[in-house]
Amino acid sequence: EIVLTQSPATLSLSPGERATLSCRASQSVSSYLAWHQQKPGQAPRLLIYDASNRATGIPARFSGSGSGTDFTLTISSLEPEDFAVYYCQQRSNWPITFGQGTRLEIE
């Protein structure tokens, strides 16, 4: 099973700041890495698929990069609605696995 390790566990920032979230895989997942956002009481929402492709309707301030084992989600300038939990997820190998999540909170 491919283990995804996200860092940091919690990130405290202010609106307007830049956020950088990391996801490291225990073995190569090629580019089959996605990022999902989840707000309290809501279902997850796909932000980025295949490492760097924004899903439909996702603002341009969200970007993804990386390949192989190291990936980054960047939010260029935080909006109030961006404070949430973010999960990375791989579909390179069965079983599909998720990282443990990064909580992005308002400082």
Partner 1 sequence: EVQLLESGGGLVQPGGSLRLSCAASGFTFSSYAMSWVRQAPGKGLEWVSAISGGGGGTNYADSVKGRFTISRDNSKNTLYLQMNSLRAEDTAVYYCAKGCVGRCYRLDDWGQGTLVTVSS
Closest approach of Cβ 107 to partner 1, in Å? 23
- Minimum CB distance to partner 1 smaller for 8 or for 15: 8
Task: Kindly indicate which of the ranges 10-18, 21-29, 45-53, 67-75 contains the residues binding partner 1, using the contact rule CB under 8 A.
Answer: 45-53
Compute CA 50 distance to the chain's CA centroid, rounded to the nearest angstrom: 12
Closest CA to 37 of 67, 57, 17, 13: 57
> Rounded to an integer, what distance in angstroms lies between the CA atom of residue 104 and that of residue 106?
7
Task: Kindly indicate which of the ranges 11-19, 21-29, 36-44, 67-75 contains the residues binding partner 1, using the contact rule CB under 8 A.
Answer: 36-44
89 touches partner 1 by CB under 8 A: yes
98 touches partner 1 by CB under 8 A: yes
Distances (CA, A) of 71 to 39, 40, 81: 22, 25, 23
